[in-house]
Chains A and B, each alone.
Chain A
């Protein structure tokens, strides 16, 4: 059921836009081409930013340092009833979406999707976004260099998001 609905959302949005455009007598094809052209410039702008960020992040993650931090933070996470196994994935979440998804995949196959660990991991992945990537992409696309407090605000919100996910899963299940 859910699959059918989520499969229908995009086609219906496109349909609605096209029908409404015709109703408002927009030259839909010309306007579409004009809009699509903007993507060239956008892609060229964001590439160097993505490259820079991926370069640094990949070198950093290569050291496995994130897994060492886990042992260090264990007491705190025991305190809020968060299984320490989820921690590497949670720490990875704001840095790299693909890596945290890969780690979630590991968690689900090791502990099972219906375990506490599986549920917490799923909710953390689902209710947060990759802060570093979004920051690079969004600010990079407009050429902003001074990001002021954006990173701190973003990471602090991620920390809150992770803690909230753990609390919510503990309460609901």
Chain B
């Protein structure tokens, strides 16, 4: 699936690019994308190191486990395959909570750690498990409650009420996360049937 999509993007990019006479920019984009991805990785590296360190303290002190216990009634429903009070649920809970504050940079390391623990529970290591997909879909639907970047962008453009979109964002994000969970459940159920 991802192989086809990847190929599709590149083939369209090159063929359409050549046909519409953009050969220079194709060459430029190819080299540029390598540079951009290195920049991206270098940008997250220090943040990753810092938060993995802090979160390791939280884990050792038992905070992560507390989060897991606190949210376990809800998370148990979302992730039925994960044993109750498992560490992975703690990281998932922390990831969702940190994301809500719009702290994407702190949420990512926690989320990656959670994903890693989910994969440890996974029977087939190279294939995404149902729980891993559920976690991903919740994450991609964006659970941000305070969109700090957008508020500052709106200020920059002289909005009379830069924060007026916060309520709309909250409502939209809650409904769309709910939809994402339903979509995920439907896909998971269909997939189960196919496997049988």
Contacts and interface: CB of A to CB of B under 8 A. Distances in A.
Interface of A: 2, 6, 9-10, 13-14, 17-18, 20-21, 23-24, 26, 28, 31-36, 38-40, 42-43, 46-47, 50-63, 65, 94, 101, 104-105, 108-109, 112-114, 118-119, 122-123, 125-131, 134-135, 137-139, 141-154, 156-158, 160-161, 164-165, 168-169, 172-173
Report which residue of B29, B140, B149 has the largest number of chain A beta carbons within 10 angstroms of its beta carbon: B140
Q: How large, as a class, is the contact surface on chain B?
A: 35 or more
Given A47-B41, A127-B173, 20 more contacts: A10-B103, A17-B57, A34-B53, A54-B34, A54-B40, A57-B9, A61-B13, A65-B16, A108-B156, A114-B159, A119-B165, A123-B172, A127-B176, A142-B116, A147-B133, A148-B127, A149-B187, A152-B187, A157-B141, A172-B167
Nearest to B141: A157
Contacts of A51: 33-34, 37-38
B154 to A, nearest CB: 4
B137 A164 contact: no
B165 A36 contact: no
Interface in B1-33: 1-2, 5-6, 9-10, 12-14, 16-17, 20, 22, 25-26, 29-30, 32-33
Contact of B61 (A9, A17, A118, A168): A17
B13 A32 contact: no
A101 B38 CA distance: 20
Interface stretch (B70-78, B79-87, B104-112): B104-112
B172 A127 contact: yes
A32 B56 CA distance: 6
